[in-house]
Amino acid sequence: MKESFFRSMTWMHTWVGLLVCWLLYLIFFAGTISFFRDEVTLWNQPALHSIQAPQERIAQQREQIIAGVDYLKATAPESGRWGIYLPTEREPQLNYAYEKPRPEGKRFGGWQDHYINPTTGDSLQQPRETKGGNFFYRLHFDLHYIDVRTARWIVCFASLFMLVALISGVVIHKRIFKDMFSFRKNKGSRSWLDGHNVSSVLALPFHIMITYTGLITLIFMLFPYPAMTAYDDGVRGLFNDVTPTNVRTKSSDVAAPLTPIDSVLDQIYTNWPNADLTRFSIKDPNKTSATITVRASTGTLVRDQTPTMLFNGVDGSLIAKSVDEYSSTEVFYDSLTALHTGRLANPLLRWLYFLCGIAGCIMIATGCIMWAKRIRERMKKDQKASFGLKLVEGLNLATLMGLPLATCAFFIANRLLPLSLTQRADKEILAFFIAWLAVALFSLFKRAKMQWYLLAWVNAVACISVPLINALTTKGNIVSYLLNSQWALFSFDLVCLVCALLFALQAKKLRTQLHTPTPTTRSNHVTKNSLVEQKA
């Protein structure tokens, strides 16, 4: 296409990046928040804020399971599915859930949750209806308002473009080690380029890892062909081969008493003496087809498949157990998914993941801003902006400034919407998209520095109002969180405040640029002149 390999890579980097940068920004943004999915969900449910993390969490698990089964036996003997969700380090509440009666033609009726404070054993009031962190988790790969499968295909191709852009970016960045720590301020598009380089280089291993592994999580949709060639029943055949606990049983209607839970628990603890159980679920309880599935935490092992045991619910015999020893290929494949989801991460690593995710957002944002800036700088004085440039600038403003505002709107809606609202969770999401749409309409109108400046202030105010509204509408606030060492909630509010500060700084910076007659164009003339000289 172009003369040299280097030039063709530059050309590709520009186009591949520009085509999908806004979608990628959304994916990175939502994904970065999803690293704190459980913490965000907790913040969105003030009813659960009073729970203290239990002291001897693992030691209590046996009692909690027995009590849970008793509770469910008494409350929902006819339900098709019971689930006992044990408290983890990130989710302090105990949950005894059962499936609601299935509507006609549906395969699952949804969970009826019953939250319990694990330290006191009291039932908690039903928390407000919200999607919480799960909204961002789903947005990250299912997008919203469109068919899930289409959305995933789009996300897959966007990620593929990202990977290609990353690789070509490394190729075209000749001074990768030389410029590692340099950032030149106030130099027009040169500064944007430096910002782009620094944010991509500092977390380069993370960027490549997260993009590659992200594609691997959806690989069975993108490339089912190897499994289809090797197995007659395709991907399902592979799953059945790899995970022995993946056994499907037909539901029956014949009643049969549930096996004593004690004997099942004894078997679990003889197999896994120090197990940290996370979930204990029973399918078709009180039927002849009853099965019990137990899942344990993987801890900090780089492994995605949770250790699982499957029991017969009538006679209590062990049907299947996940393999303890993986082959090296399985370890390799499985670790890829584990790296992406980061479920293994302790708080330190989780924050590092978060930091790298933000670096990714900055990388994408600076990349698309830089493109528009360069075109502007190259334009002649009296030349009119082309439609493409206007479109790019509009999308830049709408996504880069719109998404933070939409996120704030989501959290504010969580606190301000009346609790009795029907389909409250969907209304919160609606607030998210309305805020975003408002910014998009605003940027349709004009996209100059002034608009960036205004939106920076709007964002700063929105960010600061999240912890403020939280303090006004719930019992806790950022100070009480600090005093009671509720770190998840404290960090949430702190991050909001930091974002507010950053937006305020941005606004201040933009104001100085608005008042002084653009230094960027002047430096741009200098570069142009030097170019002309070189040519001459």
Partner 1 sequence: MYAQPVNKVPTRNPLLKLKMACKANVYALCVVARFSAAIVGGYIFTAVFTSLLSLILPLKKSDAVLLSISLTILVYSCVFIWAFAVKSLKTIWITILLTSSACGLSIALLKGWL
Partner 2 sequence: MTELLQFSLCLLAFNCFALAKFNHYRDVFKARPSQKQSQQFLIAAWISILLSLLLCVIKHQGYGGLLFCGYMALSVLLLMIFYSFKPSWVKHMSVLNVVLLLLSGSYFVVY
Residues in contact with partner 2, counted by CB under 8 A, come to a total of 29
Residue indicated by tokens 């049907």 = 319
- As a whole number of angstroms, the distance between CA 129 and CA 349 comes to 30
- As a whole number of angstroms, the distance between CA 500 and CA 466 comes to 10
Task: List the Cα angle 73/100/74 in 5-degree steps.
Answer: 15
CA-based Rg of the chain, rounded to a whole angstrom?
27
Closest to partner 1 by CB, 389 or 461? 389
Instruction: Evaluate whether 340 touches 159 at the Cβ level (below 8 Å).
Output: no
- 495 is an interface residue for partner 2 by CB under 8 A: no
Closest to partner 2 by CB, 155 or 339? 339
CB of 387 to partner 1, least distance (A): 11
Which of partner 2, partner 1, none binds 67 (CB below 5-8 Å, type-dependent)?
none
Closest to partner 2 by CB, 344 or 455? 344
- As a whole number of angstroms, the distance between CA 390 and CA 372 comes to 9
Rule CB under 8 A: which of 317-356 touch partner 2?
335, 339, 344-345, 348-349, 352-353, 355-356
CB of 9 to partner 1, least distance (A): 7
In terms of C-beta distances under 8 Å and separation of at least 24 residues, what long-range contacts does 339-345 make, across chains too?
339/209, 339/210, 339/213, 339/302, 340/209, 340/210, 340/213, 340/214, 340/216, 340/217, 341/217, 341/304, 342/35, 343/298, 343/304, 344/298, 344/299, 344/300, 344/301, 344/302, 344/303, 345/35, 345/300
Task: List the Cα angle 339/340/344 in 5-degree steps.
Answer: 50
Q: Which stretch binds partner 2 (CB under 8 A): 78-86, 149-157, 297-305, 375-383?
A: 297-305
CB of 350 to partner 1, least distance (A): 25
- 174 is an interface residue for partner 2 by CB under 8 A: no
- As a whole number of angstroms, the distance between CA 232 and CA 238 comes to 9
Which of partner 2, partner 1, none binds 206 (CB below 5-8 Å, type-dependent)?
partner 2
CB of 1 to partner 1, least distance (A): 6
- As a whole number of angstroms, the distance between CA 193 and CA 527 comes to 15
255 - beta bridge partners? 287
- 509 is an interface residue for partner 2 by CB under 8 A: no
x-marked contacts with partner 2 along 301-320 as a string, rule CB under 8 A:
xx------------------
CB of 160 to partner 1, least distance (A): 7
Torsion of CA 146, 152, 156, 157, to 10 degrees: -30
Closest to partner 2 by CB, 117 or 197? 197
Closest to partner 2 by CB, 355 or 375? 355
Taking each helix axis from N to C terminus, what angle separates 487-515 and 402-416, rounded to the nearest 10 degrees? Answer: 140
CA distances from 79 to 65, 72, 96, 112, 482 (A): 18, 9, 13, 10, 42
Which of partner 1, partner 2, none binds 242 (CB below 5-8 Å, type-dependent)?
partner 1
- 483 is an interface residue for partner 2 by CB under 8 A: no
CB of 341 to partner 2, least distance (A): 12
Closest to partner 1 by CB, 213 or 470? 213
- 502 is an interface residue for partner 2 by CB under 8 A: no
Region of residue 186 (phi > 0: left; psi between -120 and 50: alpha; otherwise: beta): left
Which of partner 2, partner 1, none binds 94 (CB below 5-8 Å, type-dependent)?
none
CB of 370 to partner 2, least distance (A): 18
Closest to partner 2 by CB, 184 or 449? 184
Closest to partner 2 by CB, 183 or 223? 183
Which of partner 2, partner 1, none binds 198 (CB below 5-8 Å, type-dependent)?
partner 2
Cβ-proximal residues to 208 (8 Å cutoff; 6+ apart), any chain = 163, 166, 167
Three-class SS state of 455: helix
CB of 192 to partner 2, least distance (A): 14
Instruction: Evaluate whether 82 touches 72 at the Cβ level (below 8 Å).
Output: yes
Sites of contact with partner 1 (CB under 8 A): 1, 5, 8-12, 14-15, 157, 160, 163-164, 167-168, 212, 215-216, 219-220, 222-223, 225-231, 238, 241-242, 327, 329-330, 332-333, 336, 375, 378, 383, 386, 388
Which of partner 1, partner 2, none binds 518 (CB below 5-8 Å, type-dependent)?
none
CB of 365 to partner 2, least distance (A): 16
- The neighbour count for residue 253, using CB atoms within 10 Å, is 8
CB of 230 to partner 1, least distance (A): 5
Cβ-proximal residues to 290 (8 Å cutoff; 6+ apart), any chain = 256, 258, 259, 282, 283, 284, 312, 313, 314
Rule CB under 8 A: which of 179-208 touch partner 2?
180-185, 198, 201-203, 205-206
Instruction: Evaluate whether 48 touches 128 at the Cβ level (below 8 Å).
Output: no
Q: Which stretch binds partner 2 (CB under 8 A): 71-79, 130-138, 178-186, 241-249?
A: 178-186
98 - beta bridge partners? 82, 112
Which of partner 1, partner 2, none binds 164 (CB below 5-8 Å, type-dependent)?
partner 1
Closest to partner 1 by CB, 158 or 460? 158
- 221 is an interface residue for partner 2 by CB under 8 A: no
Instruction: Evaluate whether 376 touches 36 at the Cβ level (below 8 Å).
Output: no
CA distances from 230 to 109, 236, 237, 264, 328 (A): 36, 12, 9, 37, 19
Rule CB under 8 A: which of 357-386 touch partner 2?
359
- As a whole number of angstroms, the distance between CA 328 and CA 303 comes to 12
Catalog residues that contact partner 2 under the rule CB under 8 A: 177-178, 180-185, 198, 201-203, 205-206, 209, 300-302, 335, 339, 344-345, 348-349, 352-353, 355-356, 359
